[in-house]
A and B are shown apart, each in its own frame.
Chain A
Amino acid sequence: MRIGLFVPCYVDAFEPEVGIATLELLERFGLDVHYPYDQTCCGQPMTNTGCHAEAAATEALFVKNFAPFDYIVAPSGSCVHQVREHLTAIPQTDEVKAVRAKTYELVEFLHDVLQVAEFPWAEFPHKVGYHNNCNALRGIHHGRPSELNAPYYSKPLDLLAKVKGIEIVTASRPDECCGFGGTFSVFEPAVSAKMGYDKVADHSQAGAEYVVSADSSCMMHQKGCAARIGVPLKFIHIARILNGATA
């Protein structure tokens, strides 16, 4: 099984260890993982701002980079949502459609495709609040959102339950948006930051030492908010925990 590893641009730049953990974790399962060296971005900053024409060349580059693989895996629900639902600025050839359909977020790839039963190497003896990225939760269905009267499930929490020593604590508003919102965070900074303050305060009140998420972007925002108002939370991507990080 040839896997194309997509490392979103902010992971590349700010949390390279998340990319490394994703690569190593996939390799633990004996997969043939490739990192197409010319990759940049999924096009989301432009399309989310309405600028689809401006995203077209970036989307075409993404497809060109990832077309050869059986699966494309990325440690980001948000970017995968963009690829699967919104990579539409270029003509929808069979190749484009195929790339979109076989692009998976790491958690769902582990949960649904590999159906991983255990992570024997993983141990995380800490109280953890899980943060659902909104695109991961409501866009690619990582779990049941709190609004819906439907059976409960959570793919990331299923995976974390296989990690030794971990204790999950639940915030009072478990899937309220943290206010990152991509370019929203720079175009509407006051509301964005306030949402972040409220989010990290909620995690903290629930007793979390760590906030864990499948999306580095939300955590980068929350980390900046927590630091600004002095909430002593630590942040770690789920890929790192599943790959055996202990702190």
Chain B
Amino acid sequence: MSAREDTLARIAQNRPKGDHALPVVPNFAPLVGDDLEAEFGERLKRMGGRIAVPVPGEDPFAAVRERLDGAAVIASAVPEISGNRDLAQVARPQDLADVDVAIVRAVFGVAETGSVLFTQRELQVNAVAYLAQHLVVLLDPADILVNIQAAYRRADFAQAAYAVLHTGPSATADIEGVLIHGAQGVRSLTVILCPRGTTENATA
């Protein structure tokens, strides 16, 4: 018998007896207040991320302008800003190893945790969200969901080949509990609250 048939047969024989119905998961009350932007931002900060709320009419990228000005390679996956590395033309993920700043738009944010979701559609090349030194995320405040439970009711997870919740930047505390950002992935993650399709194309 193959491993597959062997395992399946043994499970059929050994499985716990009785009717163990799948429980219905109730809708839990959101753990956050009504001001989802504020709740999201506070939780993102507690997870090591940064939050920026642009002043209307001014540079939406003001909070990261210094970082952008100092960057040699910028990969943008958003129309709001153009970089100098075209993600559509990247043949191999490895070619993104020298990216200083990547800019992407989140599908949605989650207030309970300060998380943002990306799929391969937003990232264009998945690896850019990890190989870049810094990640800048555009999030429409209207796209903030209350909690994780609400997030997992979205269809994105079943549809995307790859979907990932980022909550702050790469972090480790594997040596003596000292918290360090940028263990392997991005060293910083900044979320700019920026409605979809309202910002003119800016140049990096």
In the complex, are there CB atoms of A and B closer than 8 Å? Answer: no
Interface of A toward B, CB cutoff 8 Å:
none
B interface list, Cβ under 8 A from A: none
